[in-house]
Amino acid sequence: MQWESSEARFQEKIDQEIKIEPKDWMPEKYRQTLIRQISQHAHSECVGMLPEANWITRAPSLRRKAILIAKVQDEAGHGLYLYSAAETLGISRDEMYDQLHSGKAKYSSIFNYPTLTWADMGAIGWLVDGAAIMNQVPLCRTSYGPYARAMVRICKEESFHQRQGFELLLHLSKGNEAQRRMCQDAINRWWWPSIMMFGPTDDASPNTQQSMKWKIKRFTNDELRQKFIDVCAEQVKFLGMTLPDPDLKWNEERGHYDFGTINWEEFWQVIGGNGPCNQQRLDTRKKAWEEGAWVREAAAAYAEKKKARTPVQQIA
């Protein structure tokens, strides 16, 4: 059958590590999985601007202010690359925005937590961008070409963000008592949500097998989470701080850190819309979008007028 042979050829390409490009045949489910994943990723970049943009006007030095603006701006750029990558699969940016605003499309739950002190700018860089990198580095080799190429650019910037975040915390950790307290408090609040960023455990993640077969994903959620915890458990020592997990302990036999039980109830609650800032984040995005409608209309109207005038000018 025609369909079967297309499918077989597709899988053959995947197995040979040949990138799938926009014009290539692909199973509908592959396309849909990618649209869901890439748009969700794009939305995360955009919604993710908010908790940090929150602190731009309060940054405590001009140097930190400049770094923070540049970082948030990078995230907007990531959103752009990813929306463009998703568009190659036949969905428009406006459709994706609609899905975000209606609540149909998700974004990373981590951004539904509030940024309460300046130290959160460091904790987000170190832990949230750090977890994002763990997830995203393998995506640079993901099977869909435009997505993989977008991820290469994004990962370079994310690792920069992570270093900046760690450096911010390091500075606080050497500061006065209030700053050290701020530093520990931010780590305490961001640690568990960060390790939840890797998603549910493998046995609760039904799509993982198919995504691995299609090489959209290369490692399972649990593998990546373990890797992240192993790295952070060492890094936190440089800060002279602790991770808020009494069960965190090096396991010689496994060659990994053991860690405590994740509060999955909280995870599902936040995904379900009941996190501390779900409503606020979505409302902010919707407000920006709705209040920008007249601007987009004006820009479109002007572009139309200009196009209509151009030939006249050329003759003149």
Task: Kindly tell me which residue out of 75, 87, 120, 245 binds Fe ion, with binding defined by CB under 5 A.
Answer: 75
From Fe ion, another protein, none, interface partner of 129 (C-beta below 5 to 8 A by class)? Fe ion
The smaller minimum CB distance to another protein, of residues 20 and 172, is found at 172
Task: Kindly tell me which residue out of 73, 207, 263, 310 binds another protein, with binding defined by CB under 8 A.
Answer: 73
CA 187 distance to own-chain centroid? 19
Q: Determine how many CB atoms are found less than 10 A away from the CB of residue 210.
A: 14
Site string for another protein, 19-58 (x = CB under 8 A): ---------------------------x--xx--x--xxx
Site string for another protein, 256-295 (x = CB under 8 A): ----------------------------x--xxx-xxxxx
SS3 sequence, 44-84? Answer: HHHHCHHHHHCCHHHCCCHHHHHHHHHHHHHHHHHHHHHHH
Measure the CA–CA gap between 300 and 278, rounded to whole angstroms: 32
Q: Determine how many CB atoms are found less than 10 A away from the CB of residue 268.
A: 14
Piece of 121-129, 229-237, 243-251, 276-284 that binds Fe ion (CB under 5 A) = 121-129
Tokens of 51: 């908790």
CB 113 within 8 A of CB 278: no
The answer to whether residue 129 forms part of the interface with Fe ion (CB under 5 A) is: yes
CB 220 within 8 A of CB 226: no
The smaller minimum CB distance to another protein, of residues 73 and 201, is found at 73
The smaller minimum CB distance to another protein, of residues 171 and 237, is found at 171
**How many residues would you count in the chain?**
316
Tokens of 153: 């650019």
CB 195 → Fe ion: shortest distance, Å?
17
The residues, ordered by sequence, that sit 6+ positions from 233 with a Cβ below 8 Å of its Cβ are 243, 248, 250, 257
The smaller minimum CB distance to another protein, of residues 60 and 103, is found at 60
Q: 205: number of CA atoms within 13 Å, CB side?
A: 18
The answer to whether residue 120 forms part of the interface with Fe ion (CB under 5 A) is: no
Task: Kindly tell me which residue out of 18, 66, 204, 212 binds another protein, with binding defined by CB under 8 A.
Answer: 66
CB 81 → another protein: shortest distance, Å?
11
The answer to whether residue 301 forms part of the interface with another protein (CB under 8 A) is: yes
Q: Of 238, 237, 239, nearest to 172 (Cα)?
A: 239
Footprint on this chain of another protein (rule: CB under 8 A): 46, 49-50, 53, 56-66, 69-70, 72-73, 76-77, 79-80, 83, 118, 171-172, 174-176, 178-179, 284, 287-289, 291-299, 301-302, 305
